[in-house]
Structure 1
């Protein structure tokens, strides 16, 4: 970090702010991309790093750069390269931290990533998994311009930040899945009401029992390869006349 490591008081204050921001994702609606960008900025300041990036696994199992502390083209190239090799990829695959004190020792291990990182002036790299129980969804990456290992305290900090961010991201995904399920359920419930109304319209128009009216409704929908709820909605709205459904009722029964 160009300004040097923060003082103990500054570090504690920033660490508190970071966790408060991450905690907000658990209780309020939030912009996940903005939160992740703030997270990597906190990492640079808290951990005396020169660069940080957060990468998440996509649905195909690849890695995508979600946030990075620098928008420089070469930096983005470096981070994206980790989709095919590098500490981040290994971290996600193993679910364990990959801590490299000296990247010069890894040119054989990562022949494309290591030289590029060194060319950019990064000497050490650390990747910590974003994992909840058995699910690893990505990794938090740090880069420094000096060789050396992360201190035990720094490792605890970055793991805690990664864990908290992971919980927030997974909760956001769960909420979205829940919204989809809720929407589907609500649609199904609403469709059921419309179908009951359509049965009543048909029963009255054709002097039918409700079960007969339902069979006529379903027979028409099947015969015309349409959704039952759509036919019911049109019938209730007056866009479809009861006589049209009743006219095909005997044929639908034979099917």
Structure 2
């Protein structure tokens, strides 16, 4: 079977994601897909998005793996790492081999190595001169991002900005409500993931996959399903039963 050229894969990803922006879409679901596309297109093991709140505090919005999620959160807790530096400077950060950067990030580097990562990169989420967050990329092998890789990563980060801003021009008046909305959606999705993990006895990644599978199959926003699961006690039992159908047979 002939392998699809990388340029075609990139164009297909961009077209698919932009198409999603032209219809009724869920920010959290789209950002999750963006991280997945990053891992596929850039040949990295994992990716994650960090978004800043109105007080310049970064928050995790999406990550492809639990290891990436934990490492992104570790950056936020220690205020140290490539995404933190990328957000602070508004410039891309690329580290081909973490071994050479332990003095720069004395706590982050050992944590990244323990998680299985050898190289790390980050590109800013930027719109009209405002830095909204950072896209982190984590590799299990040493290696730099070439110019084409950086361009792909930056393109996907721009799409993420458009998704968060939902087509509005980025000014302080329009950005702050959109940031608050995106962060609120992330909080309720995290709550729903944790709840399903306990109720269905699933790993947190599987719980998210099940929740996302149900929302997509029923044409509902991921955040709306999560919100209904956490706030509507009357419909919760039936909703859990329906969501359970999307769990793999080995986890039921």
Query: TM-score category by the smaller chain?
Result: 0.5 to 0.7
Aligned match for 1:54, one of 9, 34, 49: 49
Aligned match for 1:38, one of 33, 36, 39: 33
Where in structure 2 are there 5+ consecutive unaligned residues?
A: 178-252
| Shift in alpha-carbon separation, 1:129–1:157, aligned structure 2, 3 A | same
Secondary structure at 1:9 match in 2: coil
Which residue of structure 2 aligns with residue 79 of structure 1? 72
| 1:214-233 alignment, distance < 5 Å | none
Aligned match for 2:111, one of 109, 116, 122: 116
Cα distance in 1 for partners of 2:21, 2:97 equals 37
Which residue of structure 1 aligns with residue 147 of structure 2? 152
Alpha-carbon deviations, 1:205-232, whole Å to 9, x = none?
xxxxxxxxxxxxxxxxxxxxxxxxxxxx
| Shift in alpha-carbon separation, 1:50–1:105, aligned structure 2, 3 A | same
Secondary structure at 1:109 match in 2: coil
Structure with the bigger RCO (C-alpha within 8 Å, sep 6+) is: 2
Where in structure 1 are there 5+ consecutive unaligned residues?
A: 1-6, 181-255
| Shift in alpha-carbon separation, 1:26–1:112, aligned structure 2, 3 A | same
Aligned match for 2:88, one of 88, 93, 97: 93
| 1:1-12 alignment, distance < 5 Å | 9-12=4-7
Secondary structure at 1:153 match in 2: helix
| 1:84-233 alignment, distance < 5 Å | 84-171=79-166
Cα distance in 1 for partners of 2:112, 2:167 equals 33
Superposed structure 1 runs of 4+ greater than 6 Å apart: 173-176
Indicate conservation of the 8 Å contact 2:68/2:138, yes or no: no
Indicate conservation of the 8 Å contact 1:130/1:163, yes or no: yes
The more displaced of 58-67 and 23-32 is 23-32
Cα distance in 1 for partners of 2:148, 2:122 equals 15
Indicate conservation of the 8 Å contact 1:14/1:42, yes or no: no
Which residue of structure 2 aligns with residue 66 of structure 1? 61
| Cα offset, 1:177, TM superposition | 5.3
Higher-Rg member (1/2): 1
- State the TM-score, normalized to the length of structure 2: 0.62
| Cα offset, 1:90, TM superposition | 0.6
Cα distance in 2 for partners of 1:57, 1:173 equals 17
Cα distance in 1 for partners of 2:73, 2:43 equals 23
Cα distance in 1 for partners of 2:131, 2:84 equals 11
Indicate conservation of the 8 Å contact 1:25/1:168, yes or no: no
Computed over aligned residues only, the root mean square deviation of the Cα atoms, in angstroms, reads 2.4
